[in-house]
Amino acid sequence: MAYTDIDKSDDYFNTVLYTGNGSTQSITGVGFQPDWTWIKVRSTTYNHRVFDVVRGVDTNYYKLFPNLNSAENTIQTNELTSLDSDGFTLGNSTNVNANGGSYVSWNWLAGGSPSSNSQGSVTSSVSANTTAGFSIVAWTGTGSVETVGHGLGSAPEYIALRRRDSAGSWYAYHKGIDASAPEDYYVQWHTTVAKTNSSTLFNDTSPTPTVFTTGTAIGSSQTFIAYCFRSIKGFSKMSSYVGNGSTDGTFVYTGFKPAYFMIKRTNTTGNWWIFDNKRDPDNDVTLELGVNLSNIEDGIGSASLDFLSNGLKLRTTQSDLNASGSTYIYMAFAENPFTTSTGIPTTAR
């Protein structure tokens, strides 16, 4: 039976749906002041946007695009104007608030305003939530092998990073990408590429409870951002599974009823997909959005899975989710733990 210190998952992660009004509006119902907000329009083909408390704000929060290699956009365009106690406020940009547009926002709680971290060979700026296993890390590269403090207190299992000040790729480390040496490989949020071996990105060095290591691919005086995660029992899971190519698909044990599921095939090319319990409150779960795409919902159509009380069950032969013998990495967050700290089990959908 799973045990957790987090009985109420939406104190730390929450998905909120909203409809744009073409003017300004405050989006509420998050349940906390988010430190990382990811917004995607569901009804048309605009790019994803991510905003966070570490990269800063002028009159609007600076944005990055998970599906693009574009530099951080610091040109203020009336998008996200503030992070609030129960959500966030938007301007009138059609990218995040078109009149009548349908949107999803995924929201995480880190540690609020960033603090200086000197545990690595470079000083980083970190907003960390050790309870929820999530931190946001900013630093400036030296062009040499360096260690970067992440603030999690335990080794991160999933790190997504990219350069901010110029165009550059999104790179992701994931503990499930390779059974023997995951630190030797990366995948990319904005592309379909399979796992790729590189010694210059993470320096073939595993993260530790205090730092992760970067290699010479991180150039001198270049500014970077990283989003770091570790699994928290009953709340989050960073892991992998092998597909079976059947509509009676692989069962993926998480130890909780999922609220959010991000997946990527790694042994060959494949899109990234996100599913959640707000856009799809009942099984089958079919409404996907592609991390590397600007697609509207249901872009591959045939995908389906079930969110269960203790994990999820694949119900498709779609190759991006369940090809026979293929390996998939994932990140999942809970709606409810399978068993609370008081021993009460959750129910299925």
Residue 1 has pLDDT above 60, yes or no: no
Work out the pLDDT band at 300, boundaries 50, 70, 90. Answer: low
Please give the residue that has the higher pLDDT: either 58 or 191. 191
Residue 165 shares a structural domain with residue 97? no
Q: Is residue 344 part of a domain?
A: no
What percent of the chain has pLDDT above 70? 95
Residue 184 shares a structural domain with residue 264? no
User: Mean pLDDT throughout 232-247?
Assistant: 97
**Res 76: pLDDT:** 67
Residue 240 shares a structural domain with residue 279? yes
Residue 137 shares a structural domain with residue 174? yes
Three-state SS at 95: helix
**Res 7: pLDDT:** 86
Q: Is residue 316 part of a domain?
A: yes
Look up residue 204 and give its DSSP letter: T
Residue 149 has pLDDT above 50, yes or no: yes
Q: Which residues are CB-neighbours of 69 under 8 A, at least 6 positions away?
A: 162, 167, 168, 169, 170, 190
Residue 199 shares a structural domain with residue 119? yes
Q: Is residue 347 part of a domain?
A: no
Q: Is residue 167 part of a domain?
A: yes
Identify the domain boundary among 50, 82, 108: 108
Residue 2 has pLDDT above 50, yes or no: no
Q: Is residue 60 part of a domain?
A: yes
Q: Is residue 2 part of a domain?
A: no
Residue 245 shares a structural domain with residue 325? yes
Residue 130 shares a structural domain with residue 205? yes
Residue 224 shares a structural domain with residue 128? yes
Question: 86-108: per-residue pLDDT in tens?
Answer: 999 999 999 999 999 999 999 99
Residue 225 shares a structural domain with residue 289? no
**Res 252: pLDDT:** 98
**Res 118: pLDDT:** 98
**Residue/partner pairs of 57-60 with CB below 8 Å, 24 or more apart:** 57/82, 60/91
Please give the residue that has the higher pLDDT: either 6 or 87. 87
User: Mean pLDDT throughout 2-10?
Assistant: 81
Report d(CA 296, CA 141) in Å as an integer: 36
pTM confidence score: 0.96
Work out the pLDDT band at 73, boundaries 50, 70, 90. Answer: confident
The secondary element (H helix, E strand) that includes residue 320 is: helix 319-322
Q: Which residues are CB-neighbours of 275 under 8 A, at least 6 positions away?
A: 260, 261, 263, 285, 287, 288, 305
Please give the residue that has the higher pLDDT: either 312 or 77. 312
Q: Which of 54-63, 147-156, 169-178, 324-333 has the lowest mean pLDDT?
A: 54-63
Q: Which domain holds residue 222?
A: 115-229
Question: 280-299: per-residue pLDDT in tens?
Answer: 999 999 999 999 999 998 75
**Res 5: pLDDT:** 83
Q: Is residue 37 part of a domain?
A: yes
**Res 337: pLDDT:** 74
- Considering its fold, how many domains does the chain have in total? 3
Identify the domain boundary among 64, 88, 108: 108
Residue 68 shares a structural domain with residue 101? yes
Length of the chain measured in residues: 349
**Res 126: pLDDT:** 98
Residue 267 has pLDDT above 70, yes or no: yes
Residue 78 shares a structural domain with residue 13? yes
Identify the domain boundary among 173, 206, 229: 229
Q: Is residue 58 part of a domain?
A: yes
Look up residue 109 and give its DSSP letter: -
Q: Is the dihedral of CA 27, 165, 217, 69 positive or negative?
A: positive
Three-state SS at 166: coil
